[in-house]
Amino acid sequence: MNGALFGIDLGGTKTEGVVLLADGSEALRHRLPTIPGSYAATLTTIKQLVATLEARSGLACQRLGIGIPGSVSPATGLVRNANSTWINGQPFHSDIAAALDRPVRIANDANCLALSEARDGAGAGADPLFAVILGTGVGGGLVIGGRIVVGAHGLGGEWGHVPLAGGAVAGAACFCGRSGCNETWLSGPALLRDHLANGGQSLERVEEVVELARAGDKAASAALARYRERLARALGSIVNIVDPAMIVLGGGVSNLPGLAEDLPGLIARHIFAAPDDRVTIRVVRAHWGDSSGVRGAARLWEAEE
């Protein structure tokens, strides 16, 4: 064993790999574009990436951790719940382990984010830690005692597909087959959709809503305020269940100005505590930013030793 940790983050547009050294520093990071729609190409891309990481770092990948959207069903061994839908229903774990001829561990990408941030990121020392990804999709991950809470059926932390707490309307249809999931309110596309549905302009990027709000646009400001309030409600229900010492925000939408700063006050209105209880909700942005997923994937072997 050389002690190096190899991780891969299978994203919708890019597949990223990292080699972490024992001190947490990165020996190498490399990415390849994800070829959407092809399961075979996904396996090939990961194989190529591992070969490149080994060749360029001069280190052997003895075991690999992979973060994926969705998860592997403990009952069937097949991937489910991935918004990169071409890997759903596939025996990805056994296929990639066979293709690489070495042991592989797989976890949900938000779980990897949570593990990375709990280990040496913004939430180091905070226990329990709950982390969320707010991006094209929405997900959550829970780490207690330094370990990912996968749950009895592999569904632990699947916060993105909980119906929005306090949602008075059914909400939009979700790729998962239900409607009104947190993802349909709290993803980047959801924010843009909500802005448009409430009299705002048709926009492509969340940053454009921020720019309009800064320029005094009322519809844009209102859309951002609704977003913050919905996120606070969705996180309030998490506080009442696991009472995290820290909530870590990741994903592109987590960079909304003031979001992490405003949330503690907003969440406080949705939890089962009185002012005398002096509950302090700590909300921070991911220390490792977009790299947290791949760093957590690399740590999937380390966490259980």
| Residues that bind Zn ion in the complex, under the rule CB under 5 A | 161, 174, 176, 178, 181
Number of DSSP helices (H) and strands (E) in the chain, helices first: 9, 12
Nearer to Zn ion, 24 or 86 (CB): 86
Q: How far is the CB of 217 from Zn ion (least distance, A)?
A: 30
Of 123, 66, 14, 62, the C-alpha closest to 294 is 66
Dihedral sign of CA atoms 66, 68, 73, 77 in order = negative
191: Cβ–Cβ under 8 A, 6 or more apart, which residues?
206, 209, 223, 224, 227, 253
**CA separation (Å) from 212 to 174, 196, 221, 268?**
28, 13, 8, 28
Please state, in angstroms and rounded to a whole number, the distance separating the CA atoms of residues 78 and 284.
34
Cβ-based nearer residue to Zn ion, 93 or 178? 178
Q: Identify which of 83, 55, 62 has the alpha carbon closest to the alpha carbon of residue 71.
A: 83
- Min separation Cβ 263 and Zn ion, Å: 22
Cβ closest to Zn ion, residue 174 vs residue 246:
174
Q: How far is the CB of 182 from Zn ion (least distance, A)?
A: 8
Q: How far is the CB of 71 from Zn ion (least distance, A)?
A: 14
Comparing CB distances to Zn ion, the nearer of 173 and 197 is 173
Closer to Zn ion at the Cβ: 174 or 238? 174
Closer by beta carbon to Zn ion, 137 or else 250: 137
> Please, how many CA atoms are within 13 Å of residue 33, restricted to the half-sphere of its CB?
3
- Residue 191, amino acid: L
C-alpha distances (whole Å) from 124 to each of 47, 248, 288 are 32, 11, 12
Least Cβ distance, residue 292 to Zn ion (angstroms): 23
CB of 87 to Zn ion, least distance (A): 17
